[in-house]
Structure 1
């Protein structure tokens, strides 16, 4: 593929990609993803008065605990937060971080604390403990299976431009590992603004990675959640 450029800002703020058709009426959609809403979005306010909202998030169930997951670069300029908040300082600087389904902004989950305090921004994943037990948003199981080249997987997300979107599903295929990123290829072009922090799942609906970057050649970059989870065991 060549050298990866970590163009995180592209995902959240630009609209350079054209639309991909989301999956309709497949067994996968009916059996796995249409049972309940998986995709969440973020709203944040810091003690210094800075605030922002958007991008994507989701819940996972791991070792008996439920965690919220999103992309680490949401702590910085990609969301208009300047200077960026380091993960190691997050718990002392945050006033409130909430998660909600796009069509239910009044039904919010509140973050209790950030538990992945690694300041290395290339490990672009953060994990939160949450205060409430979610009733309407099921946590995903984390896959234990190895990613297989050319195998089909699914990206769950919503472009900002689709204001009535709750949860779309897009077919993608696994390509290769580049540095610390898992690289997937979209079946067709997609406007990725708003997808930072979106889950990538297998055919069973188990999460395999989290989207953190995208490029103009229908290629997306993600981080394997297991590389982060092993540090909290």
Structure 2
């Protein structure tokens, strides 16, 4: 009996050590990128338009971020998910290093239906599909594209948000821990275990499992008035995968 308890203890410790080491590797892996958006009319430039990331699917690399970011980073002429010839350059780079960057090419997920207004977003949130997909023109970073996870999340599984909130100081990417709570339509509700005090700016950050496989991207967040627990609503990548697969 004592021997069995020792074996169980060893397995538990080994599992905990493996988990810690895998999270440390994930934290040190270059993943986080912020959006640096510039337009032909520079008065609309936004050098810190939340987060984005690179993903690889069937040997092609794409830049991905949240669609609602365009409501904050657009020109007055842009009414829909279409740059209308206004974009000068969409660049992604780590918040701590603008010299190592990714230059995105074409917006592949243009949409003349979704209006770039908060009122439209509020009334169409359930069907909004909060992601943008770009082709990549140039990658001058050490970031290797992420891969999509094929299996669904398990109840109470830990996942990780990688990037920066607006209030995070310039420095290394942050890794924040969440627990999968439930599915609500196209979104995962994730309970915050360890995260920033202010969620603003995390939009577009990848949500990954402990192996670094993408399961979602950050769309919104809130605090429960009664429990004071913090939650993130993250867009499932199911429809993103379907969209990208139809490009190939």
Give TM-score, length-normalised by structure 2.
Answer: 0.76
Q: Which has the higher relative contact order, 1 or 2, with Cα contacts under 8 A spaced 6 or more apart?
A: 1
Question: What is the distance in 2 between the residues matched to 1:189 and 1:203?
Answer: 16
Alignment of 1:188-207 (within 5 A): 188=194, 190=196, 191-207=198-214
Q: Which moved more, 1:199-208 or 1:48-57?
A: 48-57
Secondary structure, aligned partner of 1:69 = strand
Matched, 1:231 2:248: no
Look up the match of 1:86. 80
Alignment of 1:128-147 (within 5 A): 128-147=134-153
Matched, 1:28 2:22: yes
**Structure 2 unaligned runs (5+)?**
1-18, 115-120, 122-127, 225-229
Secondary structure, aligned partner of 1:173 = strand
How far has the Cα of 1:32 moved from its partner?
Answer: 2.8
Checking the alignment, whether the CA contact within 8 Å between 2:163 and 2:202 is kept in structure 1 is: yes
Look up the match of 2:215. 208
How far has the Cα of 1:71 moved from its partner?
Answer: 0.6
Question: What is the distance in 2 between the residues matched to 1:94 and 1:198?
Answer: 22
Look up the match of 2:47. 53
Question: What is the distance in 1 between the residues matched to 2:47 and 2:134?
Answer: 16
Q: 1:129 to 1:63 in 2, by over 3 A?
A: same
Secondary structure, aligned partner of 1:230 = helix
The structure with the larger Rg is 2
How far has the Cα of 1:176 moved from its partner?
Answer: 1.1
Give TM-score, length-normalised by structure 1.
Answer: 0.80
Question: What is the distance in 1 between the residues matched to 2:105 and 2:78?
Answer: 20
Hey, which of these two has a bigger chunk of helix by percent?
2
Secondary structure, aligned partner of 1:29 = helix
Write the deviation string for residues 97-127 of structure 1: whole angstroms up to 9, x where unpaired: 1111112112221111111123446111001
How far has the Cα of 1:195 moved from its partner?
Answer: 0.4
Question: What's the Cα RMSD here?
Answer: 2.1
Matched, 1:40 2:33: yes
**Structure 1 unaligned runs (5+)?**
1-24
Question: What is the distance in 1 between the residues matched to 2:26 and 2:100?
Answer: 23
Checking the alignment, whether the CA contact within 8 Å between 2:33 and 2:94 is kept in structure 1 is: yes
Look up the match of 2:67. 72
Question: What is the distance in 2 between the residues matched to 1:111 and 1:173?
Answer: 32
Question: What is the distance in 2 between the residues matched to 1:195 and 1:157?
Answer: 7
Equivalent pairs, count: 206
